[in-house]
Amino acid sequence: MYISDKWKEYEVIDAAEGEKLERWGDYILVRPDPQVIWDTPKKDPLWKKPNAVYHRSSKGGGSWEFIDLPDEWQIHYGKLTFNLKPFSFKHTGLFPEQAANWDWAAELIKKAGRQIRVLNLFAYTGGATMSAVLAGAHVTHVDASKGITGWAKENETASNLPHTSFRYIVDDCVRFVEREIRRGSKYDAIIMDPPSYGRGPKGEIWKIEESVFPLMQKTEKLLSDRPLFFLINSYTTGLQSAVLKYMMELVFKDRKTKLIEADEVGLPVKDTKGYLPCGCSGRTEFI
C-alpha cells in the first residue's frame, strides 16, 4: 500500500460506522466513507465535537451540516499551501491520500537532472501539479472545469510558486490529448486521475471503464524519447490495482521500463493504528 503518512495538518483520527473522523488543520470534519464497513463504537470524544458533518441522503448525494466552519481555510503539506472549502458531494478540494504519489513523482523529477515536462490530466485543484513544479518540473495542467482550474491557480498563488512553470488548459482531456498528438507535442511524464463518470465542457461523456484504456494508449504517443514516469489513479471499484498494472503492461510493452507496479493508496488512522484504503494507483518508471 502507498501510505500518505507525512501530513502535519491533516489526519484521519478514527473510522467507524460508515464514517471517518478527520482533522483538517484546526477543524474537525465527519464524512461518510464507503470503505468503512465495520460496525465499531465511536469512542473518540471528537466524534461529538465536529465543526461540520456531511450527511448522505438515502436518495443519493447528501448535504453538509455546518456547526462552526469557515467558508474557506488553508492547510499545508511541506512548502505547499492548499485552499479548502466544503462543496458538493462531501469534498473539500483536496485528496490527502495522494501525497504519497506527489512525493514519489517529485523524487523522480529531482533526480532526473534535467527539465521535466509533465502532463497532468483531470488535474483537479492541482496537488500533483504543484508538487511537480516545486520539484523543478514544468506542468501542463488540464481539467474540464473552469472553476476547479481557477481553484488550482489560487493554490499556486498561495504556495508562491513560479507562474512560468504552469500551463493551465480548460478542456476535455481526451480532446486535448488528441490535439497534442496531431501537434507532435511530447512530455517526459504523464499523470492522470480520471473520474468514474463525467462530462466535458461541451457535454462529452466520460465512462472510465470504456474510456480509460484508449486514453492511456493515446497518451503513450505523447511520451518523449526519454520518458521518466507514468502515474494513474483510480477510485472506481472495477479498476483495482491488478487491472491498472495489466493495462500499463499492455500500453508500455514496447517501452523500456524500470518498474511497473500498482497498489492501494491509504491513510493511517490515528486511533486504531490501521490504514484506511482510498482507491489505488499504478506507477511506471522508464529506463
Give, rounded to a whole angstrom, the gap between the first and last alpha carbons of the chain.
24
Strand order in the sheet with 52-56: 10-16, 19-24, 27-32, 52-56, 62-66
Would you state the cell numbers that stand for residue 249, as one nine-digit string? Answer: 503492461
Q: Would you say the C-alpha torsion 18, 95, 106, 197 has a positive or negative sign?
A: positive
Q: How much is the pLDDT for 196?
A: 81
Domain locations in the chain? Answer: 2-84, 96-286
Q: Which three cell numbers stand for residue 251?
A: 500500453
Separation CA 142–CA 230 (nearest Å): 16
Under CATH, which number does the domain 2-84 receive?
2.60.40.1180
Query: What's the rounded Cα separation, in Å, for the pair 87 and 85?
Result: 6
Q: Please state, in angstroms and rounded to a whole number, the distance separating the CA atoms of residues 32 and 34.
A: 7
Taking only the tens of pLDDT, the chain with its 287 residues reads 999 999 999 999 999 999 999 999 999 999 999 999 999 999 999 999 999 999 998 877 899 999 999 999 999 999 999 999 998 789 999 999 999 999 999 999 999 999 999 999 999 999 999 999 999 999 999 999 999 999 999 999 999 999 999 999 999 999 999 999 999 999 999 999 998 877 766 676 777 888 899 999 999 999 999 999 999 999 887 789 999 999 999 999 999 999 999 999 999 999 999 999 999 999 999 99
pTM over 0.85: yes
205-207 and 166-170 strand pairing = unpaired
Q: Which fold has domain 96-286?
A: Rossmann fold (3.40.50)
Confirm whether 2-84 and 96-286 share one CATH topology. Answer: no
